[in-house]
Structure 1
Amino acid sequence: MVRMLLLISFILLSCGSTYALQIDVRSSAVVSKTQVVIGDVVDITPPSPRLSAKRLLRAPLPGKSITVKRDQIRRVLQQFGLTEKNCEFSGADEVVVKRDSQTITFARVQRDIADYLARAQRQLSGAKFKFIPQGNVKDIVVPAGRLQVKVIPALAQIVGSRRFTLIYTVDGRTVKNMSVSGKLQLLASVVVAQRNLRRGAIVGSQDVKMVVVDISKTEQPLYNLIDVVGMMVARSIRSAQIVDGKNLVLPPLIKRGAFVKLIARRGAMLLTATGIAMQEGKMEDIIRVRNSASQKEVLARVIGPDKVEVGF
C-alpha cells in the first residue's frame, strides 16, 4: 500500500494539469477471471499498470452480469489516495460487468462420448460403438478458456457400460463433473441364424447369414460363416438370433453303433480290424469299441471319420 501511494504521488507531481489523472468509466466490460480489477472498468490517463491491476470486486458467475456504480469505483480509488481533488472522473455513471463464458451443450456432451468411443473401437476388429443417451442434459455454462474433457466408462472394458462420467476442465481447473446414462451398443457384422436350429443339428450354409447387429451382450460372436457351417448345435438357436460360439460344438466323427476301422501301430507294423462303436466320439476322444472278430471291447482314440486307434 505504501509503495502504491508513493507511485500515485509521483504520477500526481509529474503531471502539470489541474487533474493529474483522468478516470474514464466505461459503460460495459467483459471479464474472464474470478476477480474484477480497476483496469477492467475504467481507462486511466496517463496509464498506470499497477493501479489498473488492483482488485475492485469479485466477478459474477460465468455468463452473468453485475452493475458497478461510479461511486463504488471512486470509493475503492480513495483507498489509494485518489480523490476528486487530484483526479477527474468522466464517462458512464455505471458499468455493466459481464463474466465471459462458454456453454457445454447436450450436443457437445454426445460428441465427447462419441469421440471417446471412436478412439476405443480402433482396438476392435470391425466393430463400432453406438451410445444412445437416456433423457437430456441441460446446457451448462462454464468459464471461458481452454475446455477439455475426460470420459470414464462405468466398466473398464467399456462393453456393458450403461453410464459415462465426464469431467470438464477449463485451463486445467475442474468446472463440471457429470454422469450420462444410456444404452451402449457394439455393432458388428456377425453370424445370425436364418431359421430355428435344434439341438444336435448340423449347421448348413443355408441356415445362417451375416448381419450387422448389437453384440454387446453376446459372449462369443462369430465373424465368419466358415466358423459355423459344419458345426453341431449344442443348444437350440432361434431364428434371427446371434449364433454364440458357446452354443456350438464339433460334430462327432463317430456315431454310436457305427462300424469303425480299428488301427494298431507298433513301429513299422500296422494292424487293422473292424469294430462297432459303443459310443459316439469327436476328434481325440477316447471311446469304447467292440472288436467284431473277438467281440471284446477296447478303448480307442478317435483319429478321423470312422477311424480309431488302439495301443498294443
Structure 2
Amino acid sequence: MPMIRILLFIALLLGAAPVQALEITFRPDAEVETVAVTLGDIADFGDDSELAGALASKPVGQAGQPGQDVILDSGAIIRQLTTTLDLPADTVWSGAALVRVHRSGITIGPEKLQQIVDEYLAAHSDDLPAADIRYIVDNTPIPFILPAGDLKWEVIPSDPGILGSSRFVIIFRVDGKVRKNMSLTGRFEAMAPVAVASADVPRGSLIESRHLVMESRDITKFRKPCLDPAQLEGRIALRSIRAGSVIELSMVQAPPLVRKGEVVKIVLNRGGIFLSTLGVARNDGAKDELIKVENISSNKILQCRVSAAGLVEVAL
C-alpha cells in the first residue's frame, strides 16, 4: 500500500506541466504613431497572460518627430523595467540589442497641396465664372509630414472674390489641433469664350452681331470681359476697337434713350400721387441713368431717371 502511494506521487510529479517563464523578444524595427513608445510597440511576448498585457503597456521611451527615427537601447530598457517593477526572476529577455523606432505620419507634398486647392475651387464653383479655372503655384513647396490622426484643412483665399487671389492660406489640423499653417503663392488661369472684335469697330459705332466672334481667352487678364455677346449687341463703342481685341464691358455703353435738348415727359409717381409735366433734357441718358432736366413751367433743374424714350421720372 505505501508503495502504491509512492508510485502515484511520482506519476503526478512527472505528469504535471511545468510553469514556463515569460519570454520577451525585442524587434529590430518598430513603427509608432504617437510620441510615447511602449514595450508592446517594440517587443513580442511569448504568451497573452495578464503579466504580458501589463508589461506591454509600460512606456519605455519617446519617438521622434513624424517621419523621423530614433534608436532605443534594449539593455537600458531591461534595466529600467527590472529595477522599477517586481518582475519574475525567470523572465527571459531576447532579441535585438538596438531597436529602430520610426514615427509614422501624413506626408503632404506638392501634388496633395494642388489637390486641396482644386477641391476648394470645385466646392466654390458657383461663386466663379463659367470657365476652365486652374491655380498655378509659383514655387513648388517642400513636402512635410504631419502627425498621424484625423486630418482636416481650411483654405483661405487672399481675395474674397477668389479669382483675384495671388495667395492661399492653408491651415492643417490633426485631431482638431492646428499642426501647420502655410501659404501658397501663384496665379490663376481661367479659360473661357469671350467676345472678340471680328473687325475694326470705330468709336461711336453701334455694335452688331457681325462685329463679334467668341474665342477662348484667359479672362484673368481682363477687367470686364464679356462672356455673353448679347451684352454688347446694340451698344455704342466708347473707343475704337481693333479687330482681334477682346471687347470689355467698360468699352461700350447703352445707346441713349434721351438726347440733350430733347423735350421729355417728366413724371412723379409717389405714394399714390401722380403728376406729369414737360421738360428739356440737359444731358444724353441711357435707361436708368440719372440726368438733369429743366422743368419748362418753372425753369427749375430736376434730377431725373431715364425710364424710356422721351420719358423720365423725378428722382427723390
Q: Does 2:61 correspond to 1:57?
A: yes
One-letter amino acid matched to 1:242? V
Q: Does 2:38 correspond to 1:25?
A: no
Cα distance, 1:141 vs structure 2: 2.1
Segment of structure 1 superposing worse, 91-100 or 29-38: 91-100
CA distance in 1, matches of 2:207, 2:167: 38
Cα distance, 1:38 vs structure 2: 0.9
Contact kept in structure 2, 1:130 and 1:184, CA below 8 Å: yes
Output aligned runs, 1:170-185, within 5 Å: 170-185=174-189
Q: Does 2:198 correspond to 1:197?
A: no
Match of 1:132 in 2: 136
> What's the CA shift string for 1:176-210, capped at 9, x where partnerless?
22111001233332222234434322212232221
CA distance in 2, matches of 1:72, 1:245: 77
CA distance in 1, matches of 2:39, 2:287: 87
Match of 2:119 in 1: 115
Match of 2:232 in 1: 228
Match of 1:44 in 2: 45
CA distance in 1, matches of 2:284, 2:169: 54
Contact kept in structure 2, 1:154 and 1:161, CA below 8 Å: yes
Match of 1:91 in 2: 95
One-letter amino acid matched to 2:86? G
Match of 1:141 in 2: 145
CA, structure 1 residues 203+179, in 2 after alignment: closer, same or farther (shift >3 Å)? Answer: same
Output aligned runs, 1:244-263, within 5 Å: 244-252=248-256
Structure 2 runs not aligned, ≥5 long: 1-16, 266-280, 295-300
Cα distance, 1:65 vs structure 2: 1.7
One-letter amino acid matched to 2:85? F
Cα distance, 1:223 vs structure 2: 2.5
> What's the CA shift string for 1:107-154, capped at 9, x where partnerless?
111111111111111344523421111021112122333333221111
Aligned counterpart for 1:80 among listed residues 61, 82, 85: 85
Contact kept in structure 1, 2:61 and 2:72, CA below 8 Å: no
Cα distance, 1:308 vs structure 2: 8.3
One-letter amino acid matched to 1:61? Q
One-letter amino acid matched to 2:87? L
CA distance in 1, matches of 2:255, 2:77: 90
SS of alignment partner, residue 137 of structure 1:
coil
Contact kept in structure 1, 2:283 and 2:292, CA below 8 Å: no
Match of 1:296 in 2: none
Contact kept in structure 2, 1:22 and 1:88, CA below 8 Å: yes
Cα distance, 1:32 vs structure 2: 1.2
> What's the CA shift string for 1:262-292, capped at 9, x where partnerless?
99xxxxxxxxxxxxx998665687789xxxx
CA distance in 2, matches of 1:109, 1:282: 49
CA, structure 1 residues 212+30, in 2 after alignment: closer, same or farther (shift >3 Å)? Answer: same
Match of 1:71 in 2: 75
Contact kept in structure 2, 1:104 and 1:139, CA below 8 Å: yes
SS of alignment partner, residue 220 of structure 2:
coil
Segment of structure 1 superposing worse, 171-180 or 238-247: 238-247
In angstroms, what is the RMSD of aligned CA positions?
3.8
Contact kept in structure 1, 2:128 and 2:163, CA below 8 Å: no
Contact kept in structure 2, 1:118 and 1:129, CA below 8 Å: no
CA distance in 1, matches of 2:213, 2:69: 62
Q: When the two structures are superposed, what TM-score results if normalisation uses the length of structure 2? A: 0.71
> What's the CA shift string for 1:236-258, capped at 9, x where partnerless?
4444443222321122457789x
CA distance in 2, matches of 1:155, 1:261: 47
> What's the CA shift string for 1:28-79, capped at 9, x where partnerless?
2111111111111112344332321111111122222222222122022121
